Amino acid sequence: MVPAKRVITAQAGETIRTWLKEADRVLVAAGAGLSAAAGYDYGDTERFRELLRALHRLGLRSRYLLGAPLPEDMMWGYWAVHIDDVRFTPGPNPLYGRLRDLVGQHDHWVMTSNVDALFARSGFAPDRVFTPQGDYGRIQCTVPCSHDTWPSKPFLDPILGAYDRDTGRVTDPQVLPRCPDCGAEVFPNVRVGPEFVDDAYLPAGQRLARWLADAPTDSALLVLELGAGFNTPGVIRLPMENVVRRTPRARLVRINPDHPDVPADLGKRALAVPVGADRLLDRIAR
Q: What is the pLDDT along the chain (286 residues), one digit of tens a residue?
A: 334 455 577 899 999 999 999 999 999 999 999 999 999 999 999 999 999 999 999 999 999 877 678 999 999 999 999 999 999 998 899 999 999 999 999 999 999 999 999 999 999 999 999 999 999 999 999 999 999 999 999 999 999 999 999 999 999 999 999 999 999 999 999 999 999 999 999 999 999 999 999 999 899 999 999 999 999 999 999 999 999 999 999 999 999 999 999 999 999 999 999 999 999 999 887 7
Host domain of residue 227: 1-39+93-132+201-286
Q: Which amino acid is at 231?
A: N
Pairing of strands 186-190, 169-170: unpaired
- Tell me what pLDDT residue 21 has: 97
User: Can you tell me whether residue 42 is helix, strand or coil?
Assistant: coil
CATH number at residue 59: 3.30.1600
- Tell me what pLDDT residue 6 has: 57
Looking at 174, 197, 220, which one is the last position of a domain?
197
Q: Write out the E strands in the chain.
A: 25-30, 107-112, 129-130, 134-141, 149-151, 163-164, 169-170, 186-190, 221-226, 250-255, 270-273
Whether 170 contacts 79, CB under 8 Å? no
Looking at 176, 197, 218, which one is the last position of a domain?
197
Whether 225 contacts 255, CB under 8 Å? yes
- Break the chain down into helix, strand, coil percent, rounded to 5: 40, 20, 40
Closest CA to 61 of 48, 71, 51, 50: 48
Looking at 145, 164, 197, which one is the last position of a domain?
197
Q: What is the pLDDT of residues 166-193, one digit of tens each?
A: 999 999 999 999 999 999 999 999 999 9
CATH number at residue 271: 3.40.50.1220
Tell me the pTM.
0.94
Q: Quick one: 174 and 218 in the same domain? A: no
